Amino acid sequence: MTLPGQLNPSPRLLLGPGPSDVHPRVLTVMATPLLGHLDPQFLVIMNETQEMLRQALQTRNALTFPVSATGMGGMETCMVNLLEPGDKIVVCVGGFFCKRQVEVAGRTGAQVTVLETPWGDVFDLDRIREVLTKVRPKVLSIVQAETSTGAWQPLEQLGKLCHEFDTLLLVDAVTSLGCVPVDVDGWEIDAVYSCTQKGLGCPPGLAPVSFSPRAVEAIAKRKTPVQSWYFDVAMVQKYWSDDRFYHHTAPITMIYALREGLRLFLEEGLQARWDRHLRNHRALKAGLLALGLEYSAVEGHQLPQLNAVKIPPTVDDLTVRKMLLTDFGIEIGGGLGDFKGKVWRIGLMGHNSRPKVVLTVLAALEQCLRAAGYEAPAGAGVAAAIKTYAN
């Protein structure tokens, strides 16, 4: 075997649905020497990380910690702890990752009811009330920021509605945390999971989760063991609580990274962070519309951090994405599921939500569209974005 050369990948601007580019300060702290996972210094770091995570999620939930896994591990953690065989769950499905919730919930042995809406649309309270009245589920599961469609689901009144029916509200905040508001306590969310590689500007590898006192009580009343040993929060919480009972070897460097990512979030300020994402989204949207592209999510419910646009009928998906990557070093995402080959997904998450990035991707995308035979108005995208910033 010939020994591979030193790792030196070509630089990329990661503007897909995730991972996004890691903030330089996060990369710096990841070079910090390791501590043992039970070292007194590391236990302080764990406490600091937990408390900042509570602030980011706007919650006082004691059971708030990062699962040692990616966002899908967060989804599974919530599902397997809240559900046991025979429990009823309603899953709101309007995209690819909603369908993932259906599959994971089904593997717990729960009775799954699917409430569907067209991809790119959102659910209104009346439809949800109707299904809650009929099914009376233990859990309602919904995605706040559907990564496959760019749709932004309103949640402000949903927790209150669920609690009228003694239903636990489970929210996927994988693409929302660090980009748009996630108000766990204010919206009466009972369980929430996210990830580190999007709005928090860290590498993939951790899945922040939080459980309300109502959810903790429901878990304590289980009649059967949690399906997964590794994701059993009754065990994991003993490591993240004052007990510090050994459960697994924590990914030390990733927790360093998350701690710094949360520091950056809170230094900037929650509202300032959300405003920044919205401001850059408006500029990008103006530019994309000026190039003749249309959004796939309904107007009024389009995510600032994940811009999903329809691919023009005369343009080949892969040709444009390949040219963006090879000629400009820019990665954007293609469509998933029903949107495969029909949609491009452009992420402006965390560190990548900057005017420089917006203007760069608009200029590059215009050139790629022109090369693919699409008559994009010369310079219109960049000009529209600049005008939006000026206003």
Domain boundaries of the chain, sorted by first residue: 24-266, 270-390
Q: Tell how strand 306-310 and strand 330-331 pair up.
A: unpaired
Q: Is residue 243 predicted with pLDDT exceeding 80?
A: no
The reported pLDDT for the residue numbered 32 is: 97
Which range (4-8, 154-158, 263-267) has the least confidence?
4-8
Supply the pLDDT for residue 249: 83
- Residues 212 and 219: their CA atoms lie apart, in Å, by 11
In the prediction, which pLDDT does 97 show? Answer: 81
d(CA 388, CA 210): 37
Tokens found for residue 68: 């040692």
Q: Is 70 helix (H, G, I), strand (E, B) or coil?
A: coil
Longest Cα–Cα distance of the chain, Å, equals 65
The pLDDT value recorded for residue 338 is 86
Average pLDDT of 26-42? 94
Tokens 């067209």 correspond to: 118
Quick one: which of 261, 268, 266 has its CA closest to 194?
A: 261
Asked if residue 186 has pLDDT above 90, the reply is: yes
**Across 350-357, average pLDDT:** 97
Question: Would you say residue 244 has pLDDT above 90?
Answer: no
> Around 56, how many Cα atoms within 13 Å sit in the side-chain half-sphere?
36
Is the pLDDT higher at 236 or at 128? 128
Q: How confident is the model at residue 233 (pLDDT cuts 50, 70, 90)?
A: very high
Q: How many helices (H) and strands (E) does the chain have?
A: 13, 13
pLDDT digits (tens, 9 = 90+) for 68-81: 999 999 999 999 99
Q: What is the per-residue pLDDT for 307? A: 98
Out of 1.10.1740.10, 3.90.1150.10, 3.40.50.720, 3.40.640.10, the CATH code matching 24-266 is 3.40.640.10
CATH superfamily for domain 270-390: Aspartate Aminotransferase, domain 1 (3.90.1150.10)
- Residues recorded for the chain: 391
Check if the beta carbon of residue 203 is closer than 8 Å to that of residue 73. Answer: no
On whether the CB atoms of residues 91 and 105 are closer than 8 A, the answer is yes
Give residue 238's pLDDT.
82
Count the neighbouring beta carbons within 10 Å of the beta carbon of residue 133: 10
- Report residue 106's pLDDT band, with 50, 70 and 90 as the boundaries: very high
Confidence of residue 1 (pLDDT cuts 50, 70, 90): confident
Distance CA 67, CA 64 (A): 9
* Domains 24-266 and 270-390 are alike in CATH topology: no
pLDDT at 340 over 90: yes
Instruction: Inform me whether the pLDDT recorded for 154 exceeds 80.
Output: yes
